Amino acid sequence: MSWTKKILRVNLTKGTCTSEPLNMDWAYKYIGQRGLATKYLIEEIDPRVDPLSPDNKLIFATGPLTGTAASTSARYSVITKGPLTGAIACSNSGGYFGAELKSAGWDMIILEGKAAGPVYLHIENDQASLLDASPLWGTSTWHTEEWIKNTHQDPMMRVASVGIAAENGVLYSAVVNDLHRAAGRSGVGTVMASKNLKAVCVRGTLGIGVRDPKAFMEAATKAKKVLAENAVTSVGLPTHGTQVLMNVINEVGALPTRNAADVQFEGASDISAEAMREVRRTDGKTNLIANQACFGCTIACGRVSKIDQTHYTIVNKPEYWHASGGLEYEAAWALGAATGVNDLEALTYANFICNEQAIDPITFGATLGAAMELYEDGLITDEETGGVKLNIGSAEALTTMVELTGKAEGFGKVLGLGSKRLCEKYGKPELSMSVKGLEFPAYDPRGIQGIGLNYATSNRGACHVRGYTVASEILGIPEKTDPLVTDGKAGLVKAFQDATAAVDSAGICLFTTFAWSLEDIAPQVDAACDGEWTVETMLEAGERIWNMERQFNLAAGFTGKDDTLPKRLLKDAAKTGPAKGLVSGLDKMLPEYYQVRGWSTDGVPTADTLGRLGL
């Protein structure tokens, strides 16, 4: 049990919604969510398909623990071939949508084809239909959610939608649910809009069963106790959210700043978690209003913020005066340190726009940071920007350009291409801080060596949540390793990547792993699901998933040559901090990584490895 053992297949071209049984042989090998949906995608599309063509497919998937009494059981993923990268894309989100979909009786939704005009998918338990979304096309995710709830007279309905940015082809558009939770990276929202699908709304009242309720509750209760007794999951994240990292990472000299020209940001304290909690505004209020939890979460790391109404970015814009999703670390870094902007109110406003129009703030901020460097080098002109001066550190440039990108207007259309295409356009591809076309997030590989190897080898492009070695290298979880050395990092990265694939596929939040190991997770999966689930079987599933994703990318045209980092990280040493004088030691780590993975010297899984994993 715990799987509903049902898939909803929606053919947008034909306008049909049909139920089919879940392939349980695959479920036992790939768990659910990320792993299982990727298996379906790979079996059903050509890896070389144009991501924005009707032949690409889009899958909303839950995991076996999604919607159960396990802590952080809110998670769902959106899986497709990403338009930003051309690689496998799987973006994970929390909130309440995933649990609602599972409670409606569905493990996943497979969306195929393209509707003739704008539609949204309406699901109420086992009933599903496609409805006219013409009134919603050209509107924001915030408006879409309100309109759908009002139209169906159901405030408890959960909605996942795309904004104007996706409709207009911004290549890193997200799918936003519950107003400010997002399947954020790789452009999954752009694929959704390319199919003329504006939203998916769901109401589920069927509940979710587990195989052994008594054993499951015992395992879940024991695991929650572990979270409650851990300093990170019981104090750090609830109090400061992921923003707790801003000052920490800056102090260790691994905060990519001004398009990674530097590794420390003098304005970090101005945009930190501490700043969000302090009274720094003319109205006497704090930026942070409260913390917030997703479905079933006992951590509650989410932020709720409200902008200073007297601040210049908010003048005559009362639609942004309400409290909404506040800054998390990656967004604060991308909108702030990556662009050199230390204006907390401007960052909060830009983050609101990213939520409202469903834009990945990491790629947007990193792309703007690259554009600012190009502008200061004289390669982008005022004429091209519509008179907006893209000086590094300009809060006005940040807030103006996020609006233009959300609307895909003016220079926002160029920013909407992402940093790889932007920098290629201006003849400076080396200024794109990306891997496989995906911008790397808030950790500099010169100051944290293992995360650089993870960026280079991550299947969806540079990504911290595919193998968060920062936990070990900086926080000492599960054990401390030296962030400045390369020795042992190949094995560390593989271990984190495989374990993360299993966690993502189970339907719980990765943040639990600050306290949990698979020894805490496996008993919950085992009690919830048919089959035999141990630490060993889950790790094997994680390794199988990683290699399957690798196979897709190889078939899509990627090679071992794509397992690299921007030249700036390999050639230009860190100027300050503990990593001063260091570059990324990727050249030392990558050959060993291929070896521990059981891959050839050019990064291809060997026949022995594929055979051992049943691939």
Confidence of residue 281 (pLDDT cuts 50, 70, 90): confident
Pairing of strands 158-161, 175-177: antiparallel
- Residues facing 20 on adjacent strands: 7
Distance CA 545, CA 596 (A): 16
Best CA proximity match to 188, nearest among 329, 302, 76, 330: 76
* Chain centroid offset of residue 363 CA: 11
Q: How many residues does the chain have?
A: 615
Look up residue 33 and give its two tokens. 């969510």
Pairing of strands 324-325, 302-305: antiparallel
Best CA proximity match to 302, nearest among 351, 372, 339: 351
CATH code assigned to 6-203: 3.60.9.10
Distance CA 17, CA 124 (A): 12
Rg of the Cα atoms in the chain: 22
341 CB-side CA count, 13 A: 28
Number of helices and strands in the chain (H, E): 26, 17
Confidence of residue 309 (pLDDT cuts 50, 70, 90): confident
Give me the mean pLDDT over the 507-523 stretch. Answer: 97
Kindly report the three-state secondary structure assignment for every residue of 312-378: HHHCCCHHHCCCEECCCHHHHHHHHHCCCCCCHHHHHHHHHHHHHHCECHHHHHHHHHHHHHHHHCC
Burial zone of 322 (CB within 10 Å; 0-12 exposed, 13-18 middle, 19+ buried): exposed
Give me the mean pLDDT over the 508-537 stretch. Answer: 97
The string of pLDDT tens digits covering residues 406-441 is 999 999 999 999 999 999 999 999 999 999 999 999
Burial zone of 476 (CB within 10 Å; 0-12 exposed, 13-18 middle, 19+ buried): exposed
Report cis status (omega within 30 of 0) of the bond before 478: yes
How many CB atoms are located within 10 Å of the residue 473 CB? 25
Percentage of residues in the chain having pLDDT higher than 70: 100
Burial zone of 405 (CB within 10 Å; 0-12 exposed, 13-18 middle, 19+ buried): buried
The string of pLDDT tens digits covering residues 588-613 is 999 999 999 999 999 999 999 999 99
Please provide the DSSP assignment of 8-28 as one string. EEEETTTTEEEEEE--HHHHH
Cβ-based neighbours of 521, under 8 Å, separated by 6 or more: 223, 502, 503, 506, 508, 512, 538
Distance CA 615, CA 593 (A): 20
Q: Check if the beta carbon of residue 223 is closer than 8 Å to that of residue 71.
A: yes
* Chain centroid offset of residue 475 CA: 21
The string of pLDDT tens digits covering residues 548-590 is 999 999 999 999 999 999 999 999 999 999 999 999 999 999 9
Q: Check if the beta carbon of residue 57 is closer than 8 Å to that of residue 568.
A: no
pTM greater than 0.85 (yes/no):
yes
Give me the mean pLDDT over the 218-240 stretch. Answer: 96
Q: Check if the beta carbon of residue 169 is closer than 8 Å to that of residue 408.
A: yes
Phi, psi of 111 (to 5 degrees): -105, 125
Look up residue 115 and give its two tokens. 């509707």
Give me the mean pLDDT over the 168-176 stretch. Answer: 97
Phi, psi of 180 (to 5 degrees): -145, 20
CATH code assigned to 257-432: 1.10.569.10
At 496 the pLDDT is 98
At 317 the pLDDT is 80
| Mean pLDDT, the chain, integer | 96
- In the predicted structure, residue 316 carries a pLDDT above the cut 90: no
Best CA proximity match to 122, nearest among 71, 170, 157, 87: 157
Distance CA 460, CA 38 (A): 12
Best CA proximity match to 586, nearest among 402, 456, 427, 447: 456
The string of pLDDT tens digits covering residues 97-152 is 999 999 999 999 999 999 999 999 999 999 999 999 999 999 999 999 999 999 99
Confidence of residue 315 (pLDDT cuts 50, 70, 90): low
Phi, psi of 435 (to 5 degrees): -130, 130
Annotation: CATH topology of 439-613: 1.10.599
Q: Which amino acid is located at 164 in the chain?
A: I
Confidence of residue 284 (pLDDT cuts 50, 70, 90): confident
Please tell me whether residue 173 adopts helix, strand or coil conformation: strand
Cβ-based neighbours of 130, under 8 Å, separated by 6 or more: 10, 12, 15, 17, 115, 119, 120, 121, 122
Give me the mean pLDDT over the 185-210 stretch. Answer: 97
Domain positions in the chain: 6-203, 257-432, 439-613
Look up residue 513 and give its two tokens. 């792993």
Phi, psi of 256 (to 5 degrees): -60, 125
